[in-house]
Chains A and B, each alone.
Chain A
Amino acid sequence: MKQGLKLAMEATNSNPTSTAAAELLCGVNAKALLDSVDAFLFDCDGVIWKGDKLIDGTPETLEMLRSMGKKLIFVTNNSTKSRFQYANKFRSLGLSVSQDEIFSSSYAAAMYLKVNQFPLEKKVYVIGGEGIVQELQLSGFTALGGPEDGEKRAQWKSNCLFEHDKDVGAVVVGLDPDINYYKLQYGTICIRENPGCLFIATNRDSVGHMTDLQEWPGAGCMVGAICGSTERKPIVVGKPSTFMMDFLLQKFNLSTYRMCMVGDRLDTDILFGQNAGCKTLLVLSGVTTKSILDDPSNKIQPDYYTSKVSDFLNFLGE
C-alpha cells in the first residue's frame, strides 16, 4: 500500500508535526504502543549498537517483539556498509536480521538513481565508503572513487591539469573517514563542470557514534564540504527525507500509522517518522540527551521517549 509521500529533497527541520511534549514511556503506554503498531523501524547507531558494541538488552528485546508478531525494519543513515554487509554485522553481534529488513542510505542512493533512470553508461563518483560502492554496483552502475581514492594525492604545478572523468553524471557523498583533498576536488570539479551532474547526499547527520566511546563527524561534514565548494544543495536520500519509505511500504504491506520509528536523533530519525506519519520513540542511548530534548530551542518532539530499547522488556514485565 503506497501512500502519497512527497520526496523531501533537502534535509530540513521544517514541518515538525508534533508540538506536544514527548511522553516518558512506562508500563501503561508501552503496552498501548505495542498494541497500536505492527512494525518497528529501528535506527542502528545509538539504538541497536554503538560502533561495534551492542547496547545492553537489545537482542532479547528484538526477540520479544518478533515473538509478538511485530515486523522489524532497520533504517540507518550510515552509508559505510551495504545491506549485505549490515546483515553480516548483525550476525556477528548475534542478531538474526536479513538483508531485506535493512534499509541503509547506501542502498537509498542506488535506488534513487534507479528510480530516476540514471543512464547506465554514465558514472557515479563516490565520496564515501565501500557500502555505497557495493550498492551502486549491485544496481548495475559504474562507481568511481570510494575508499581507494583515500590514498590519492592531488598535484598542483603550473600547466598541470587535475583530470576528471567527464562521464560522471552523479556525485554521491556520504560518511567518509578517508576524506581528503583529492576527493573533495574530484567531486567538486564533476559537479561544477559536467553538465547536469547530480549532487546526492546519503544523509546530513552532523555527528554519530562511530565508536562506542564518543561521537564522530558524520556525513553532514563531507556533504557540507561539497556544498561549500560547489555552492549547490544536495538531494538527500536518507532520513529525514522520506524517500526510503516508499520502498519500505512496497515491501511490507503496512500503513505508516501502524509503524513506530525508534531512533536517537531528533533531526533525522524522529523527523523522518513524523514526516511519514509514523509514531515516534526517542531513545536516550545515543546522541540525544534529555536536556537536548527539553531545550527550548528544540522544536522536534517525539511521541514518546525512553532510555533505551530494552526498556520494553521491563515494561512488559510489569
Chain B
Amino acid sequence: MVTKAVVSVSVAASITSSKLLINPSHRFSCLKSLSSLNSFSASALAIKCRGLSNCTSIKSARTMEGFTTITRASAQPLQNADELIASVETFIFDCDGVIWKGDKLIDGVPETLDMLRSKGKRLVFVTNNSTKSRKQYGKKFETLGLNVSEEEIFASSFAAAAYLKSINFPKDKKVYVIGEDGILKELELAGFQYLGGPEDGGKKIELKPGFLMEHDHDVGAVVVGFDRYFNYYKVQYGTLCIRENPGCLFIATNRDAVTHLTDAQEWAGGGSMVGAICGSTQRDPLVVGKPSTFMMDYLSDKFGILKSQICMVGDRLDTDILFGQNGGCKTLLVLSGVTTLSMLESPSNSIQPDFYTNKISDFLAPKTATV
C-alpha cells in the first residue's frame, strides 16, 4: 500500500511550491517511491496523511485554493507504461512540448493518442497558451493530422471566460483584454462584452500637458495573457480600470515566464505581461491557468471524473506538474519540451512528478523505455 503525501499548494503567484515541514525522521516513512500504483481517491489519501501523527510543524501556505503541500520522493523513470495506463481513466496533456513544438508535431504522437483511445481512455488537452480559442486549437490539431475535437481542448483563453461565467460576471459589465485573439473569441462565445485586444496594439499615446486618457468605467474585469502586441497604451488602460473602477477584477490567464512560440527557442511568456500589470497596480491577479486548479475542477466537474483517475502529462514542472499535484492527480513529466533531466534532478528543483519519460510515444514501447 502506498502512503503517498498528498495534495499540494497552488502557488498561483510563484514558481515553486511551498513545503510542509515534516519531522525529518519520519519523512521517508510517509513517502514511498511509486514503483507500483494503486488507485484510491485523493480524499482517502488526504485522510491518511492527516492521520499520520508524526507529521509535525506543518506550515500551511495561504493560497487561492488553500491547500497544503508535502515534499515528495524523487520522480521515477517510466518503466511500466501499461500499468500507468491501466490505472487511470483520463489523460490530460499539455500541448507545447508534449504534442507539438511550435507548429511541428513531436514524433509518435498520433499513434500514441490513437492507442490510448483504443484502450478506452478519455483524452483532454489543457494548454496555458491563450492566443487561440478552443475552436482555433481544434483546427491546429486537425492540420497536424490529429483527431481531437474542440470539446476536448481547454486553453487558458477558455478558462478566463469560464471563470467569469462561474462567478456570474454581469453581462452589462465589460472586460478589458491585454492579450490576443483567443481570449476575445472565448469571451464573445460566453456572451461577454470586451474591449482592447490586438487592435489596441496600434494605439499610441503622447505624454504632453493637458492630455487625459479616458477609460470605460463599465469595465469590471481586466484579463491579461500572452500579448505580442503589448504596449504602454494597454498597460495604462488596464491599470486605470483596475485602480479606478470599484471592484474591478484582475485576471491572469497564466504566468509562464517563457513559452515555445517557435520550436527553436524560448520567448517571453504571459508571465511578462502579467508582471507588468502587477508592477503598475501593486495587485496580485487571480490566475485561471496552470498551476491553478481552476481548469482541473472544471474538467472533473464537467466529465464527472475523480481526480485520482487522471494522469497529467506535461513538460513544465512549475505549471503542468504542479497543476497535476495541486489537483491530486498522477503526474508524468516528458522531456520533449522545456525541462531536461538535469533540471529535474537539480537540488534547486522542489517539484517531483510521479514519473518521467522522454516523450509520450514511449507509451507505445513495450515495458522499459530508456531515458
Question: Which residues does A use to contact B, with CB under 8 Å?
Answer: 51-53, 154, 156-162, 176-181, 184-185, 188-189, 192, 204, 206-207, 210-214, 216-218, 220-231
Distance of A211 Cα from B206 Cα, bound (Å): 10
- Asked if residues B209 and A211 are in contact (CB atoms below 8 Å), the reply is yes
In angstroms, how far is the closest chain A Cβ from the Cβ of B31?
27
- Asked if residues A217 and B279 are in contact (CB atoms below 8 Å), the reply is yes
Chain B residues, CB < 8 A from A176: 232
Chain A residues, CB < 8 A from B266: 188-189, 192
- Given the contacts A185-B268, A228-B273, A220 and B280 also touching, CB distance less than 8 Å: yes
- Asked if residues A206 and B279 are in contact (CB atoms below 8 Å), the reply is yes
- Asked if residues B262 and A225 are in contact (CB atoms below 8 Å), the reply is no
New contact pairs (17) apart from A179-B230, A217-B235, CB-CB < 8 Å? A52-B208, A158-B262, A162-B267, A177-B207, A179-B235, A181-B227, A184-B230, A188-B258, A206-B279, A211-B207, A216-B207, A220-B282, A222-B276, A224-B278, A225-B273, A228-B276, A231-B15
For the complex, is B79 an interface residue (Cβ under 8 Å from A)? no
Chain A residues, CB < 8 A from B109: none
Q: List 21 A-B contacts (CB under 8 A).
A: A158-B103, A158-B104, A158-B262, A159-B263, A160-B262, A179-B276, A206-B281, A207-B243, A210-B207, A211-B209, A211-B211, A212-B210, A213-B212, A217-B279, A221-B235, A222-B279, A224-B278, A225-B276, A228-B275, A229-B258, A231-B271
Distance of A214 Cα from B103 Cα, bound (Å): 44
Chain A residues, CB < 8 A from B235: 179, 217, 221
- Smallest CB gap from B235: residue in A: A217
Chain B residues, CB < 8 A from A222: 276, 279
- Asked if residues A185 and B267 are in contact (CB atoms below 8 Å), the reply is yes
In angstroms, how far is the closest chain A Cβ from the Cβ of B8?
19
In angstroms, how far is the closest chain A Cβ from the Cβ of B163?
20
- Asked if residues B264 and A228 are in contact (CB atoms below 8 Å), the reply is no
The total of interchain contacts (Cβ-Cβ below 8 angstroms) comes to: 141
- Asked if residues B280 and A207 are in contact (CB atoms below 8 Å), the reply is yes
Chain B residues, CB < 8 A from A51: 207-209
In angstroms, how far is the closest chain A Cβ from the Cβ of B229?
7
Chain A residues, CB < 8 A from B279: 204, 206, 217-218, 220-225, 227
For the complex, is B156 an interface residue (Cβ under 8 Å from A)? no
Distance of A229 Cα from B230 Cα, bound (Å): 14
For the complex, is B239 an interface residue (Cβ under 8 Å from A)? yes
For the complex, is B87 an interface residue (Cβ under 8 Å from A)? no
- Smallest CB gap from B279: residue in A: A224
- Asked if residues B276 and A161 are in contact (CB atoms below 8 Å), the reply is no
Chain B residues, CB < 8 A from A217: 232, 235-236, 239, 276, 279-280
- Asked if residues A206 and B282 are in contact (CB atoms below 8 Å), the reply is yes
- Given the contacts A220-B280, A228-B272, A228-B273, A213 and B267 also touching, CB distance less than 8 Å: no
For the complex, is B330 an interface residue (Cβ under 8 Å from A)? no
Chain B residues, CB < 8 A from A160: 262, 264
For the complex, is B222 an interface residue (Cβ under 8 Å from A)? no
B78-97 Cβ-contact flags toward A at 8 Å (1 or 0): 00000000000000000000
- Asked if residues B265 and A161 are in contact (CB atoms below 8 Å), the reply is yes
- Asked if residues A52 and B209 are in contact (CB atoms below 8 Å), the reply is yes
In angstroms, how far is the closest chain B Cβ from the Cβ of A134?
19
In angstroms, how far is the closest chain B Cβ from the Cβ of A218?
7
- Asked if residues A228 and B280 are in contact (CB atoms below 8 Å), the reply is no
Chain A residues, CB < 8 A from B102: 158
In angstroms, how far is the closest chain B Cβ from the Cβ of A222?
7
Distance of A160 Cα from B262 Cα, bound (Å): 8
B248-276 Cβ-contact flags toward A at 8 Å (1 or 0): 00000001011001111111110111111
For the complex, is B231 an interface residue (Cβ under 8 Å from A)? yes
Distance of A296 Cα from B264 Cα, bound (Å): 51
Name the one of A156, A188, A206 contacting B272, with C-beta atoms under 8 angstroms. A188
- Smallest CB gap from A161: residue in B: B264
> Which of the listed residues A176, A216, A228 has the most CB atoms from chain B within 10 Å of its own CB?
A228
For the complex, is B19 an interface residue (Cβ under 8 Å from A)? no
Chain B residues, CB < 8 A from A192: 258, 266
Chain A residues, CB < 8 A from B322: none
Distance of A42 Cα from B228 Cα, bound (Å): 38
Chain B residues, CB < 8 A from A221: 235, 239, 276-277, 279-280
Distance of A80 Cα from B57 Cα, bound (Å): 50
Chain B residues, CB < 8 A from A214: 212-213, 240
- Asked if residues B239 and A184 are in contact (CB atoms below 8 Å), the reply is no
For the complex, is B205 an interface residue (Cβ under 8 Å from A)? yes
Chain A residues, CB < 8 A from B281: 206
In angstroms, how far is the closest chain A Cβ from the Cβ of B253?
13
- Given the contacts A159-B264, A211-B208, A226 and B275 also touching, CB distance less than 8 Å: yes
- Asked if residues A181 and B268 are in contact (CB atoms below 8 Å), the reply is yes
- Asked if residues A188 and B232 are in contact (CB atoms below 8 Å), the reply is no
Chain A residues, CB < 8 A from B268: 181, 184-185, 188, 225, 229
Distance of A180 Cα from B204 Cα, bound (Å): 12
In angstroms, how far is the closest chain A Cβ from the Cβ of B290?
16
Chain B residues, CB < 8 A from A52: 208-209
Chain B residues, CB < 8 A from A207: 239, 243, 280
Distance of A134 Cα from B209 Cα, bound (Å): 25
Distance of A204 Cα from B278 Cα, bound (Å): 11
Name the one of A177, A181, A228 contacting B271, with C-beta atoms under 8 angstroms. A228
